[in-house]
Amino acid sequence: MTDFAATRAAFDLPEGVIYLDGNSLGVLPRGAAARVERTIRAEWGERLIRAWNDAGWMTQPARVGDRIARLIGAPAGSVVVGDTLSIKVYQALAAALALRPGRRIVLSDSGNFPTDLYIAQGLLDTLGQGHELRVVAPEEVAGAITGDVAATLLTEVDYRTGRLHDMAALTRVAHEAGALAIWDLAHSAGAIPVDVTRAGADFAVGCTYKYLNGGPGAPAFIHVAPRHAAVARPALAGWMGHEAPFAFDAAYRPGAGIERMRVGTPPVIALAALEAALEVWDMVDMRDVRAASLRLSERFIAEVEAQCPALELASPRDAAQRGSQVSFRHPHAYPVMAALIDRGVIGDVRAPDILRFGFTPLYLSEQEVVRAAGVLATIMRDEAWRDPRFQQRQAVT
């Protein structure tokens, strides 16, 4: 059993705040600041260039990748960390398309995070080979996987509503149609149990600054199924993905397996924070996290619906169909959230009318969730959001 008092003690939480935005930016793990300081002062400062070898900087992307692999059901050696999620989406999709040269359709859905769609469209435009990005409604994906689809590009948990795709079922449909399945786990890794192996995913990507608490702008990850690892073509053929980076050969030869998905020099300082953040997960069983997450989110929905008739649930009502967030709609979502943040309850907003609340059992208690709902109820009842102070839209990521 996961000891959630112990996990909570592993984080530095600010005073006077109930944080329901760990689905956007996770909180600070106690070990991260000290680890980064050590990396900066003792490794960079003292060892300088020698630290590439003697502090293990060069092997860090795969070492950190292995920690993530465990959380998403991937075998060791099949995940590597670096760059941003956008870049990793580009790599995964480019590799998938090269494996399906005769097909011209990339299938995604309108609930996907925009950067996935932008990156896909940018890649297809760059290819200039008549590929089409076909975007359907989330519930129409299964029926749209026709024999001309090269790859599906789907985010398992919808960033706006928390709606959960059935990864295993959709992957099966994709494979039956001869397509490859790419899964974006941005809102899944550390949020819900994930098993890319059992689901048969071909590629998976994700970010580490949400539920994994890697820090603002922490590097992303990519998983390539072992059956593709030796043949996947890295479109972003950077030197760190070369079979022998320090041979400085004129010609590129892709590295063994997942190593080829590395691109440039690894972001050592960011990786130090992420590595410390991932150590917290040694204490965690994802099934316990799922159970606690559902308990927290069900309680939040019940409290809000009982007290705030003006808010409309935007997430699936069936807990099994949700990730670890709950969203409500309100025509004045922005000022409502501004008023809520002003009173120490932090969630965020997605255009045009979505209030988002993330549930992170590692550091969030049921009592706090009940208190947060109470604060929200007070704001709605008093219409506190009409205060001119809260009328300015704030962009939050």
Q: Is 385 annotated as a binding residue?
A: no
The site map against its own copies for 332-351 (x = CB under 8 A) is ---------x----x-x-xx
Q: Catalytic site residue 221?
A: no
Residue 200, CA distances (Å) to 107, 187, 223, 224 in order: 17, 19, 12, 11
- As given in the structure block, the two tokens for residue 98 are 């090269």
Q: Is 107 strand, coil or helix? A: strand
Nearer to its own copies, 1 or 250 (CB): 250
C-alpha triplet 12, 16, 22: angle, nearest 5°: 55
Q: Is 184 annotated as a binding residue?
A: yes
Within 365-394, the residues that bind its own copies by CB under 8 A are: 394
Residue of the chain from 267, 323, 335, 361 that contacts its own copies (CB under 8 A): 267
Within 294-313, the residues that bind its own copies by CB under 8 A are: none
The reply on whether position 242 binds its own copies by CB under 8 A is yes
Q: Catalytic site residue 209?
A: yes
Nearer to its own copies, 113 or 199 (CB): 113
d(CA 44, CA 55) in angstroms, rounded, equals 9
d(CA 195, CA 189) in angstroms, rounded, equals 10
Q: Where are the beta strands (DSSP E) in the chain?
A: 11-12, 18-19, 28-29, 79-82, 105-109, 132-136, 149-155, 180-184, 203-206, 220-224, 312-313, 325-329, 345-346, 348-350, 354-358
Contacts of 247 (CB under 8 A, 6+ apart): none
Size of the site for its own copies (CB under 8 A): 95
Element (H, E) at 6: helix 4-9
Q: How many residues does the chain have?
A: 397
Nearer to its own copies, 96 or 286 (CB): 96
What's the N-to-C CA distance of the chain in angstroms? 33
Residue of the chain from 14, 147, 309, 331 that contacts its own copies (CB under 8 A): 14
Element (H, E) at 9: helix 4-9
Within 49-88, the residues that bind its own copies by CB under 8 A are: 49-53, 57-58, 83-87
Residue of the chain from 8, 17, 371, 377 that contacts its own copies (CB under 8 A): 17
Backbone phi and psi for residue 255, each to the nearest 5 degrees, phi listed first: -70, 170
Which of 35, 103, 163, 210 is the catalytic position?
210
Q: Give the nearest distance from C-beta 333 to its own copies in angstroms.
A: 13
The reply on whether position 288 binds its own copies by CB under 8 A is no
Contact 108, 154 (CB under 8 A): yes
The reply on whether position 99 binds its own copies by CB under 8 A is no
The reply on whether position 175 binds its own copies by CB under 8 A is no
Nearer to its own copies, 286 or 362 (CB): 362
Residue of the chain from 121, 307, 365, 378 that contacts its own copies (CB under 8 A): 121
Nearer to its own copies, 87 or 369 (CB): 87
Q: Is 148 annotated as a binding residue?
A: no
The reply on whether position 247 binds its own copies by CB under 8 A is yes
Q: Catalytic site residue 184?
A: yes
Q: Give the nearest distance from C-beta 238 to its own copies in angstroms.
A: 4
The reply on whether position 250 binds its own copies by CB under 8 A is yes
Which of 35, 88, 163, 356 is the catalytic position?
356
Q: Give the nearest distance from C-beta 251 to its own copies in angstroms.
A: 8
Q: Give the nearest distance from C-beta 154 to its own copies in angstroms.
A: 15
In 3D space, the residue among 188, 162, 212 whose CA is nearest the CA of residue 325 turns out to be 162
Q: Is 113 annotated as a binding residue?
A: yes
Q: Catalytic site residue 19?
A: no
Residue of the chain from 207, 301, 340, 369 that contacts its own copies (CB under 8 A): 207
Contact 107, 141 (CB under 8 A): yes
Name 254's bridge partners. Answer: 242
C-alpha atoms less than 13 angstroms from C-alpha of 27 in its C-beta half-sphere: 26
The reply on whether position 130 binds its own copies by CB under 8 A is no
Q: Is 202 annotated as a binding residue?
A: no
Contact 24, 358 (CB under 8 A): yes
Q: Is 85 annotated as a binding residue?
A: yes
d(CA 117, CA 159) in angstroms, rounded, equals 13
Q: Catalytic site residue 356?
A: yes
Q: Is 116 annotated as a binding residue?
A: yes
Which residues are known binding-site members for pyridoxal 5'-phosphate?
Answer: 85-86, 113-116, 155, 184, 187, 209, 239, 265
Residues with a known catalytic role: 113, 184, 209-210, 356
